[in-house]
Structure 1
Amino acid sequence: MYTLSQDTEQSRRERLRDRNVRGLVELLSRRGELRGVHPMADHVVDTFAWTV
């Protein structure tokens, strides 16, 4: 069972994750030459594209 502080921490982590993914997607949209530099970044962006 979660306590209030655990719920708050979980919510904070989810917002941070979403913000970071959004920033990565925006960056790779603007700067196509960065594709292929970091395979994990490409994977995250490709995975996000499938959900939209």
Structure 2
Amino acid sequence: AQRATLQYWKQQMPWADKGSVTVANGGDLAKEAGVFPWLAVTPENAPR
């Protein structure tokens, strides 16, 4: 899957069963991990 991650859950979680696979947004995970500077991921107003 392009720009996505597949997550295999080894433990039971409130949002996923043990042994299940879920799809997550790779960009969101990278932002949460601090891969990108905060200024690069801060939305701006569109020009008028």
- Structure with greater proportional strand content: 2
Which protein has the bigger helix share? Answer: 1
Under a length normalisation based on structure 2, what TM-score does the superposition of the two structures give?
0.29
